[in-house]
Amino acid sequence: MASLFDKIAKFAKSPQGQRAIRTATDKAQQFAKDPKNRAKIEQVRAKLQGGGKGRRP
């Protein structure tokens, strides 16, 4: 029996999978180009990179 990962990899290599990946990539790029969304992305990135700052032990 094929594992879930094998099934996903097979789908990703299929024409339908390639189309889905291309569509998702295009949407993500459009989202990231919007200045408001870009600011949100930067805030989350800064928060994640800040890691343990401001936390109590």
Q: Does 42 map to a domain? A: yes
Residue type, 27: K
Q: Does 30 map to a domain? A: yes
Which among 25, 23, 33, 21 has a CA at the least distance from the CA of 41? 33
Q: Does 2 map to a domain? A: no
Give residue-wise pLDDT tens across range 5-39: 999 999 999 999 999 999 999 999 999 899 999 99
Predicted pLDDT at 2: 82
Q: Give residue 22's domain range.
A: 14-46
Q: Does 37 map to a domain? A: yes
Predicted pLDDT at 11: 96
Does the structure show a pLDDT above 70 at 55?
no
Q: Does 55 map to a domain? A: no
| CA–CA dist 53, 43 (Å, integer) | 15
| Domain count within the chain | 1
Q: Does 41 map to a domain? A: yes
Predicted pLDDT at 1: 67
Which among 15, 17, 21 has a CA at the least distance from the CA of 7? 17
Q: Which residues contact 4 (CB under 8 A, 6 or more apart)?
A: none
Predicted pLDDT at 32: 87
Q: Does 4 map to a domain? A: no
Q: Does 52 map to a domain? A: no
